Amino acid sequence: MSDKYREAGVDLEAGYESVRRIKSHVARTKTMGAIDSIGAFGGMFDLSKYGFQEPVLVSGTDGVGTKLMIAFEADKHDTIGIDAVAMCVNDVLVQGALPMFFLDYIAVGKNHPQVIEQIVKGVADGCVQSECALIGGETAEMPDMYDEHHYDLAGFCVGAVDRSRLLDGQKIAAGDVLIGLPSSGCHSNGFSLIRKVLLKDAKLDLQATFEELGGKTLAEELLTPTRIYVKAIKHLLDKVDIKGMSHITGGGFYENVPRMLKEGQGVRIDLNSYPSKPIFDLIARCGNISKQEMCNVFNMGIGFILAVDPGDVEKVQQLLAEIDEPSYVIGEVTDTGSVDLQW
């Protein structure tokens, strides 16, 4: 039916096969407000099911960046979708909004249905962890734009919160305590530097195991999915007054923590107050990278930060312990206007 189009590099039958393969993964993400819409022109979601009084929609969009290059080289595609979801839902969460739905965008040089299925499986896994519905997406086959074994992956998330519960950092005050939630590793940031330092310069083997990484291969360590913090924050929102939150992504502490503060405020963070991640020591050593620059690129072992009143610290940590979520008191809000890190 589409021989000429196939000769041009676009295989419609492979596209149809990809859709057939992903349907079961999409189905398991269905939530209360999701309206079946796979194959429709637009994804649909019924927000009225959630009983918001004055709902504010909070949206976020992001990609996975050059972490994808590690997935290509390792030929492992079933977790990279979790990263795409995590980068979006964690951003939305910062405003106090719970993720409602997600859409993905996959651009490929050649449509390999089994690879598309693995990617979407990961996206669906991330949506299940986030309790949000995958209500649509796009897979674009673009020969000559990408190598036939390469792809790009991005996503878009919408969350909702009642206006009265929107977190904008206005309640944060000097003396408030910073509680850090651990990352799983590098998450989805800094991979251009990681690839240069570890693969190009040090010429480390992705399939080699490293004792300092707990016996994991380098590929396993680097492809560890970004943590999703929805479960932890959802467990806290109705029980304690969170004054502000920050998702620690590219730019590390220096760039991301000030985004939750008022003008003139700063923070003091002690990097010795929580367990370090060996992968960051490996990167710093192989690349001869200063601690300051490491903290300006990577999450350094903390993926999410909460600002709370000193009187609420014990309660927050007890609540998190109930769901086996580790947490660490890592610092405090100051009136210095700067990010002061101690190591």
**Would residue 148 count as lying in a domain?**
yes
* Of 83, 92, 86, 84, residue with least CA distance to 60: 92
Rg for the chain, CA atoms, rounded: 21
* Residues 156, 183 share a domain: no
Structural domain including 69 reads 3-165
Query: For residue 331, what are the contacts with CB-CB under 8 A and spacing of at least 6?
Result: 177, 178, 267, 268, 269, 270, 273
* Residues 236, 304 share a domain: yes
Query: 165, 199, 227: which is the final residue of a domain?
Result: 165
* Residues 188, 155 share a domain: no
Q: What is the 3-state secondary structure (H, E, C) of 292-330?
A: HHHHHHCCCCEEEEEEECHHHHHHHHHHHHHCCCCCEEE
* Residues 186, 39 share a domain: no
**Residue that is written with structure tokens 């850090």 in the block:** 180
CA distance 18 to 6: 16
**Would residue 172 count as lying in a domain?**
no
**Would residue 195 count as lying in a domain?**
yes
CA distance 145 to 314: 53
The domain spanning residue 330 has which CATH number?
Answer: 3.90.650.10
CA angle 260, 102, 246 (to 5 degrees): 15
DSSP class of 176: P
44-76, pLDDT tens digit by residue?
999 999 999 999 999 999 999 999 999 999 999
Q: What predicted TM-score, i.e. pTM, was given to this entire model? A: 0.95
pLDDT for 2: 66
* Residues 87, 194 share a domain: no
Tokens, residue 183:
């990352």
pLDDT for 6: 84
Contact present, 280 and 297 (Cβ < 8 Å) = no
Mean pLDDT of 206-228: 97
**Would residue 170 count as lying in a domain?**
no
* Residues 185, 327 share a domain: yes
CA distance 214 to 247: 26
The domain spanning residue 114 has which CATH number?
Answer: 3.30.1330.10
* Residues 208, 147 share a domain: no
Residue 101 CB: number of other CB atoms within 10 A?
Answer: 25
* Residues 148, 200 share a domain: no
301-329, pLDDT tens digit by residue?
999 999 999 999 999 999 999 999 999 99
If one counts the domains in the chain, the total is 2
* Residues 190, 161 share a domain: no
**Would residue 211 count as lying in a domain?**
yes
Strands (E), the chain: 34-35, 44-45, 55-63, 98-108, 133-141, 151-162, 177-182, 242-247, 266-270, 302-308, 328-334, 339-342
High-pLDDT (> 90) share of the chain, %: 91
* Residues 101, 215 share a domain: no
* Residues 209, 328 share a domain: yes
Asked if residue 146 has pLDDT above 70, the reply is yes
7-31, pLDDT tens digit by residue?
888 888 888 888 888 899 999 999 9
**Would residue 229 count as lying in a domain?**
yes
* Of 186, 189, 117, 106, residue with least CA distance to 154: 106
* Residues 13, 69 share a domain: yes
* Of 240, 245, 236, residue with least CA distance to 168: 245
Distance (Å) of CA 159 to CA 31, 63, 207:
13, 17, 38
